[in-house]
Structure 1
Amino acid sequence: MHTEKVIDHIVTWLKEYATNAKMNGFIVGISGGIDSAVTSTLCAKTGFPTLCVEMPIHQAQSQVTRAEEHIAKLKEQFPNVSSLRTDLTPVFESFKTQTPKVDDSTFLDLSLANTRARLRMTTLYYFAGLHKYLVAGTGNKVEDFGVGFYTKYGDGGVDVSPIADLMKSEVYALAKTLNVPNSIQKAAPTDGLFGDSRTDEDQIGASYDELEWAMKMQENKKVLSDFVGREKVVFEIFTRLNKANQHKMIPIPVCEIPNHLRD
């Protein structure tokens, strides 16, 4: 991949979109991960005001440290970058006290994890509304269109998706060219939504390299019976998640009223 040319293409696309939309700049939630680091750097390179927002909710210190390191480096490089920190932990805890106690906790952890993501989305749009900024999404192609590994109306609630046509490996390639801090490039990907040390691979059951392979196999019309061993396991994981999360990837279903019912 021609990383420099890809970077220039994305930056130009962002500038043109913001200009045509008559918006003032961009806002990005910074997690300490590779995707938000690359996205915020691309936004910063547009020259438009770029607001980097930290929104910890019981966040691991390692993630906070990486986010702070990245933001500090960005602000040194780009005078158009600003930052703020909004600790959402009290908001999250208050929310939990206002909801009924759940006896069956089968889906409680996942529901609360998604709640964290949706609180962050709400926060980003609050500041975006104040400044007339576009919320820049941080999802990559594998997450957004492969396995649907994001929260609907959480980190999936955005205005523009600069890196959604890039595989995870391609995001890493851009990160290297953009000089994203090594601590972020080397860190195991995690959504940080469960308040523990679980990684994306722990949750999904396959690495991003494996998921990229499976995504390409699906595009090549391969089926489960074409594989054995680990490849079969990975392809099954990918196809199962791809099917289960189609509701995130396709437009919201609209119940269309037949004309004869309107007459």
Structure 2
Amino acid sequence: MQTEKVVDHIVNWLKDYATNARVNGFVIGISGGIDSAVTSTLCAKTGLEVLCIEMPIHQAASHVSRAQEHIAQLKKRFPNVSDTRVDLTPVFEEFKTEVNLDGKQTTVDMALANTRARLRMTTLYYHAGLLGRLVAGTGNKVEDFGVGFYTKYGDGGVDLSPIADLLKSEVYAVGDYLDVPESIMKAAPSDGLFGDARSDEDQIGATYPELEWAMQMKDEGKTANDFQGRKREAFEIFMNYNTRNQHKMVPIPICEIPKNLR
């Protein structure tokens, strides 16, 4: 990958999109992970106003410290970057008092994890509406179009996706070029939706290099029967996520009314 040219291309794309949309900048949630760090830096390089928002909900201390380190570095490098912190923990806890939490614990935990992401989406759009800006998404190609590892109308609810055509390995290459803090570059990827330090690999059961490989094999028309051992296991994990999360990757289905019924 021609990293420098890719960075220039994304920055120009962001700038052109914002100009054509007649907005004055971007709003982005900062999690302490590589994707939000890279995306916010790319947005900052446009020269347009960028608001970085921390939105902790019982967040792991390591996530908070990395987010704050990145924001401090970004503000030092770019005068167009500002930040704010919205503690959504009380909102989340109040929400829990108003809904039914009965049921299988794993199901309840997942529903609440997705609720965290949707509360953050609402917060981002609140600030974007106040400031006349666009919400920049942080999803990469593997998450958005490979395994669908994001929350529908949560971190998937955005105005534009600057890095959604970059594989995770490519995001790291861009992060290295952009001088993203080393603590973020070395941290295990995590969605931070459960209030602990569990990684994406812990949840998915496969590493990002394995998922990238499986994504390429699928594109080449391979099936699980073409592999054995760990490769077969990783491919099946990828395909399971890819299949069940198609509803996140395709347009919302519309029931079209036949002309003869009009």
Identity in percent: 71
Q: Name the CA distance, whole Å, in 2 between partners of 1:103 and 1:63.
A: 30
Asked if 1:82 corresponds to 2:86, the answer is no
Runs of 4+ aligned structure 1 residues displaced above 6 Å come to none
Is 1:213 paired with 2:192?
Answer: no
The C-alpha deviation readout for 1:183-237, integer Å capped at 9, x for no partner, is 0000000001011221000000000000000000001111110000000000000
**Pair 106,72 (structure 1): closer, same or farther in 2 beyond 3 Å:** closer
TM-score, normalized by length of structure 1? 0.99
**Contact 2:101–2:108 under 8 Å retained in 1:** no
Match of 2:6 in 1: 6
Q: Deviations over 1:231-258 (max 9, x none)?
A: 0000000011100000000000000011
Distance in 1 separating the partners of 2:101 and 2:83: 37
Corresponding residue for 1:43?
43
Alignment of 1:101-180 (within 5 A): 101-180=101-180
Describe the SS at the equivalent of 1:107.
helix
Q: How does 1:175-214 map to 2 (within 5 A)?
A: 175-214=175-214
2:56 partner letter:
P
Paired amino acid for 2:216: K
Question: In the aligned structure 2, how far is the partner of 1:52 from the partner of 1:103?
Answer: 36
Paired residues, number: 262
Matched position secondary structure for 2:134:
strand
Cα distance in 1 between the residues matched to 2:123 and 2:101: 26
Structure 1 residue 33: deviation in Å? 0.1
Aligned runs of 1:228-247 on 2, under 5 Å? 228-247=228-247
Q: Distance in 2 between matches of 1:149 and 1:103?
A: 23
Secondary structure at the aligned position of 1:50 is classed as: strand
Instruction: Give 1:238's aligned amino acid.
Output: F
Task: State the 1:106 CA deviation.
Answer: 4.2
Mark the runs of 5 or more structure 1 residues left unpaired by the alignment: none
Of the structure 1 ranges 101-110 and 139-148, higher mean CA displacement relative to structure 2 is found in 101-110
Q: Summarize the Cα distance change of 1:254–1:169 in structure 2 as closer, same or farther, 3 Å threshold.
A: same
Give distance in 2, aligned partners of 1:183 and 1:100: 39
Question: Relative to 1, partners in 2 of residues 1:241 and 1:90: Cα closer, same or farther, differing over 3 Å?
Answer: same
- Rounded Cα–Cα distance in structure 2 between residues aligned with 1:55 and 1:240: 31
Query: What is the Cα-based RMSD across aligned positions, in Å?
Result: 0.7
Which AA in structure 2 matches 1:48?
L
- CA deviations over 1:128-162 (Å, ceiling 9, x no partner): 00001100000000000000000000000000100
Question: Taking structure 2 as the reference length, what is the TM-score of the superposition?
Answer: 0.99
Distance (Å, rounded) in 1 between the aligned partners of 2:28 and 2:93: 24
Gap runs ≥5 in structure 2: none
